[in-house]
Structure 1
Amino acid sequence: MNPNLNAQLNANSAVPAVGRTLIAAIFFISGIGKLAAPAATMAYIASLGLPAPALGLIGALVLELAGATLLVVGYKTRLVALLLAVYAVVTALIFHHALGDQNQMFHFLKNLAMAGGLLQVAAFGAGAFSIDNRRAAVTRAAA
């Protein structure tokens, strides 16, 4: 196996962009679902005894829709990935902690897997096809 495979995949291919897009898909779909049924989302938040369901909805919409968009285009990718990873873990702990329920356990583990993928993005960056990479290239060229 080529020891430089990681560097090649990150710097010279579309693999990181595809990975970012696949991770972002679940956030897009979740955000659109919340946007389509805000009352149901707020009722679910309230049913757990959390304060300010409307603020929770707005926060979730911003994180999911804006975060997914920024992740796909690769802008501030490491920071966005880190924020979404924290969001995934926090939502797992708050909304999917009934681990005796197989469906909730599945969602809990799904959120942890998403966080793991996002931490990889935070660790290794956006890759070649990203705004972050273009900005870095402009900065290098100007120096």
Structure 2
Amino acid sequence: MSLLRVLGRPMLASMFVAGGLDSVRNPQNVAGLAEPVVRPVTDRVELLPDSTEECVRLNGAVQVAGGLLLATGRLSRPAALALAVTLVPTTLAAHRFWEEEDPDRKSQQRIHFLKNLAMLGGLLIAADDTGSAPSLLWRGRHAAHDLRRDAHLVRRSVRAGAAPAAMAGRVRGKLSR
């Protein structure tokens, strides 16, 4: 694994571990902000808890687990994807700069929104990062290509061997009469 991955993944994950722990321990601190985003989602997704605080706690737990997995390099691609999924409602709930009236608060919220957007981009890159190993899709395509090539070679070999064998059979048939 490259030095950039070894250093970059824990750096990216640190924000999620710290923020997730805070959400798990003190969900009431952000439940009010999360309510406008959580309500419509929980109405559509029955698997989620009805309580906003429980949803915040669940989101925080996913962030802690995903952050630790990403930081350690274990299941880093699914972990990055899970963190990206949790970041969207977090960003939409906490950094609604378009609703701010005060120019200073609006500017700060816009900065935080764009910071989260940048982290989302980093997570999407991490979710796509195969660590220089070929992806399953690439391996599958190349395995299929290799099978087609092998089948073609076998077909040519059979054709090439069939003509002399047929000729030998005809000669043998004439000689045995």
Given the alignment, which residue of 1, 17, 22 partners 1:33? 22
Residues 55-70 of structure 1: matches in 2 within 5 Å? 55-70=54-69
What value does the CA root-mean-square deviation take over the aligned residues?
A: 2.3
User: Which stretch of the first structure deviates more once superposed, 93-102 or 116-125?
Assistant: 93-102
Given the alignment, which residue of 44, 49, 55 partners 2:33? 44
Q: C-alpha displacement at 1:49, in angstroms?
A: 6.8
- Matches of 1:106 and 1:49, distance apart in 2: 20
Given the alignment, which residue of 107, 114, 119 partners 1:102? 107
Residues 1-143 of structure 1: matches in 2 within 5 Å? 11=1, 13-46=2-35, 48=36, 50-51=38-39, 52-99=51-98, 101-126=106-131
- Bigger-Rg structure (1/2): 2
Q: C-alpha displacement at 1:85, in angstroms?
A: 1.7
Does structure 1 conserve the Cα–Cα contact (< 8 Å) formed by 2:17 and 2:63?
Answer: yes
Residue 26 of structure 2 aligns with an amino acid whose one-letter code is A
State the aligned residue count.
116
Q: C-alpha displacement at 1:102, in angstroms?
A: 1.1
Q: C-alpha displacement at 1:31, in angstroms?
A: 1.6
Q: C-alpha displacement at 1:20, in angstroms?
A: 0.5
Q: C-alpha displacement at 1:57, in angstroms?
A: 1.8
- TM (norm. structure 2) is 0.57
Q: C-alpha displacement at 1:126, in angstroms?
A: 5.0
User: Which stretch of the first structure deviates more once superposed, 95-104 or 110-119?
Assistant: 95-104
Q: Paired residue for 1:139?
A: none
- Matches of 1:54 and 1:67, distance apart in 2: 20
Choose between structure 1 and 2 for higher RCO, CA contacts under 8 A separated by at least 6 residues.
1
- Per-residue CA distance 1:90-120 (angstroms, 9 max, x = gap): 3223332323511211111111100111111
- TM (norm. structure 1) is 0.68
Does structure 1 conserve the Cα–Cα contact (< 8 Å) formed by 2:95 and 2:109?
Answer: yes
Does structure 2 conserve the Cα–Cα contact (< 8 Å) formed by 1:92 and 1:108?
Answer: yes
Question: Identity percentage over the alignment?
Answer: 32
- Matches of 1:30 and 1:55, distance apart in 2: 15
Q: Paired residue for 2:172?
A: none
Residue 66 of structure 2 aligns with an amino acid whose one-letter code is G
Q: Which runs of 5+ in 2 are unaligned?
A: 40-50, 101-105, 134-177
Residue 130 of structure 2 aligns with an amino acid whose one-letter code is G
